[in-house]
Structures are given as structure tokens and as C-alpha cells.
Amino acid sequence: MSEPEIDLFNFPCAFPIKVIGKDTDGFMEIVTEIIRHHVPDLAADAVSTRPSAGGKYIAVTATFIAQSREQLDAIYRELSGNEQVLYVL
């Protein structure tokens, strides 16, 4: 008999997601579009960027109200499946 899965989050909750990729034109827009697919009310000011020290990479952070574990899993899957995304944290 397996033990029930314990969720570490109490939904809904504020959730920051960080996506790292090469600093190319449009990377932030791609990430924002993917997240907005799952979070239609994502505010423009909820997304920020930070370039790496060498300028080759960029981190895009979006903070939104996550509604469920399934929503987060879907966002992580879609972001991880994009060829321009190197890491999702």
C-alpha cells in the first residue's frame, strides 16, 4: 500500500518561476507567452529579467498565483520542452 502524496504548497499561492536561456532576441517573450498560456492573468510587471555576468545568458523570473500542482507541472513541462530553455527553477 502506497502512502498518500503530500503537497508542500497550499494552493492558491504566490509562486516564482525562473527560466534560464541564452540572451537572444525574444527569449523573454517566449517564456512569458508559455507561462501566460497557463496563467492568462499574468501581469506585465510580474516578469523580470537579469543578464548573466558575461552577458551570454539571461534569467527570466515570473511570479504569479499558482492555482494547483497540475498547473505548475504543465508550466514546467512546456518550458522544459522548449529548445531555447536551458533550465527551469
With a CB cutoff of 8 Å and minimum separation 6, the contacts of 75 are 17, 34, 35, 38, 39
Is 61 within 8 Å of 18 (Cβ atoms)? yes
The predicted-structure confidence for 3-35, as pLDDT tens digits, reads as follows 556 667 899 999 999 999 999 999 999 999 999
CATH 3.30.70.360 fits 13-88, yes or no: no
Domain boundaries in the chain? 13-88
Q: Quote the distance between the C-alpha of residue 33 and its chain's center.
A: 10
In the structure grid, which three cell numbers stand for residue 80, read together?
522544459
The predicted-structure confidence for 24-83, as pLDDT tens digits, reads as follows 999 999 999 999 999 999 999 999 999 999 999 999 999 999 999 999 999 999 999 999
Q: Which of 79, 73, 80 is nearest to 7 (CA)?
A: 73
Q: What is the pTM (predicted TM-score) of this model?
A: 0.89
